A = this chain, B = another copy of it.
Amino acid sequence: MHIGLIGLGKMGFNMRERLRAKGIEVTGFDRSPERTDVPDLEALVASLPSPRIIWVMVPAGEITHAVIEDLSQLLSEDDLVIDGGNSRFTDDQIHATLLAQKGIRFLDCGVSGGVWGLENGYGLMAGGSDEDIELALPIFDALRPEGDRAESFVHVGDVGAGHYAKMVHNGIEYGLMQSYAEGYELLEAKDIVKDVHGTFAAWQKGTVVRSWLLDLVVKALEEDPRLATIAGYVEDSGEGRWTVEEAIANSIPAPAITAALFARFNSRQEDSPSMKMVAALRNQFGGHAVKPAQPKPE
């Protein structure tokens, strides 16, 4: 099997390596001349046997949209595009429809595993038709960990379902990380706890909270036992937001995942307008002193 792979960033680069190691021929395209195998999309398309299979692994939103648009011009009937990025599931039907106008097929596939996926294999959640899934199965099998397919790959449903599942996966991930993080803060704050790293380490086997993320907590604390070099500043990249928006759209209470999202927003605020107002109000009614705002450095 010989496929194309567009996007050779942190995820795509590793995936090309894993696919090749598993015997899939991969022609990769990236804007970076050092990473790309071909000079442009035209060359990529020209290099592939028919029906062509192209895995798209670029940032969600406008960039993915532009790539799909380009592919709709370059590909032919019965070719298959797989969007493996973190697209919002609502984009998938738009992309599928665009491609279908030329008879080009489409799958969406959520990919989890981060930088460890190269070695461990990736967890995969796909959406699309049975027929298209069948065609791409050798790729999925190469990307996922060895062993029982059902433990690392799922055909979730029709187009969009794969990214929906990935979105929920990431929402859960937000909640899990926040839970460990709150526990960390509670251990860290208590002086009777003499060994925070050791406590997390001892949870790795036997306890109810053991997990891969827990192993990473232990690893992080091994490298920097009090996280002294890391600021409490956390980005978010879309899927946590979409998860909460879906919760709202479906009238589902999702307080833990939402708490995790809001904690990230909080972490990026230098000074909170809300809390300025609460301080102002306490001053107004109770005469409670306010802390003066720090002048911004010029």
Contact = CB atoms under 8 A, between A and B. Distances in A.
Interface of A: 10, 89, 112-117, 120-125, 127, 144-145, 147-148, 150-158, 160-161, 164-165, 168-169, 171-190, 192-195, 198-199, 201-214, 216-217, 219-220, 224, 227-235, 241, 243-248, 250-269, 271-288, 290-294
Q: Which of A182, A217, A281 has the most CB of B within 10 A?
A: A182
- So how many copies of this chain end up in the complex? 4
B175 A232 contact: no
Nearest to A254: B182
A254 B152 contact: no
B278 A234 contact: yes
Contacts of A174: 179
Contacts of A294: 231
Q: Which of A189, A192, A241 has the most CB of B within 10 A?
A: A192
A206 B263 contact: no
A181 to B, nearest CB: 4
B151 A202 contact: yes
B202 A208 contact: no
**Is chain A's interface secondary structure helix, strand, loop, or mixed overall?**
helix
B281 A266 contact: no
Contact of A155 (B152, B195, B276): B195
A152 to B, nearest CB: 4
Given A116-B285, A291-B233, A252 B202 contact: no
Nearest to A127: B192
28 contacts: A112-B206, A123-B203, A147-B205, A148-B205, A154-B198, A157-B194, A165-B187, A169-B183, A174-B179, A175-B182, A175-B256, A181-B276, A181-B277, A182-B257, A189-B250, A190-B246, A209-B213, A210-B212, A220-B284, A227-B273, A229-B293, A232-B269, A233-B279, A234-B278, A235-B282, A255-B255, A255-B259, A267-B279
Given A150-B198, A199-B165, A278 B178 contact: yes
A258 to B, nearest CB: 6
Contact of A274 (B182, B201, B205, B291): B182
A196 to B, nearest CB: 9
Contact of A206 (B145, B232, B247): B145
A187 B176 CA distance: 17
B179 A176 contact: yes
Contact of A233 (B161, B182, B275, B287): B275
Given A145-B205, A217-B281, A280-B230, A186 B263 contact: no
B255 A263 contact: yes
Given A262-B258, A272-B267, A277-B180, A287 B169 contact: no
Given A156-B194, A192-B160, A278-B177, A182 B113 contact: no
